[in-house]
Amino acid sequence: MRNFILLFLLFGSIFASDFITKNEYAKMLYSNPRGIGCDKCHGKKGEGALIAKFKHFDKKSNKIVDGELKAPRINNLDFWKFSEALKRPKDVMPSYFLTDEETLLLYEYVKNFNDNKDKK
Ligand code: HEC
């Protein structure tokens, strides 16, 4: 009987639909997806950020020049561009294996920061 009650409690908590809210889930995905967090490169609010500065040899000018690696702003894109970037990442942008729903949640999450900024 005791085991039955424990089992009941366990399943109850797993299947409770309002276990975490959509926004909480999106926030978690943004800072801790199955891989390195988006915030590490794109900034807390998707505003874009400098990842690294480096020096490289420029063949044209025959000089050593400064270079920068930046993660672009991502809170002002349309959904198509956003999801394409996640499906077919370029450069140092890592590959993620997110479901369509997760991509949408992430998109809405970062877009929110843009709306807030524009209202002032
Ligand atoms: C290791 C750093 C890094 C991480 C982590 C990272 N990105 Fe990126 N991301 C980049 C860089 C650099 C680019 C620019 C690639 C290019 O076009 O040259 C980029 C491009 C993008 C673009 C396209 C922007 C545009 O204007 O076309 C989107 C959207 C994007 N990232 C979303 C995400 C999301 C969402 C996550 C987390 C799931 C994430 N990124 C994690 C570095 C990162």
Closest by Cα among 114, 119, 116 to 42: 114
Cα 11 off chain centre by: 30
Would you say residue 18 has pLDDT above 80? Answer: no
87 CA from centroid of ligand 1 (Å): 11
- pLDDT category at 34 given cuts 50, 70, 90 is confident
pLDDT at 120: 43
H-helix or E-strand containing 117? helix 100-119
92 CA from centroid of ligand 1 (Å): 8
- pLDDT category at 20 given cuts 50, 70, 90 is confident
Pocket lining for ligand 1, CB < 6 angstroms? 33, 36, 38, 40-42, 51, 71-72, 74, 77, 81-82, 85-86, 90-94, 96, 106
Half-sphere CA count of 28, side-chain side, radius 13 A: 8
Q: Among 30-39, 64-73, 84-93, whose mean pLDDT is lowest?
A: 30-39
The pairs formed by 13-19 with CB atoms below 8 angstroms and a separation of 24 or more are none
Of ligand 1's listed atoms, the one at least distance from the Cα of 96 is 38
Kindly state the average pLDDT of the residues 48-77: 94
Considering only CA atoms, give the Rg of the chain: 20
Q: Which of the pair, 6 or 77, is modelled with greater confidence?
A: 77
CA-nearest residue for atom 23, ligand 1, is 85
- pLDDT category at 119 given cuts 50, 70, 90 is very low
Rounded alpha-carbon distances, angstroms, from residue 100 to 11, 75, 120: 27, 18, 31
* pTM recorded for the entire structure: 0.80
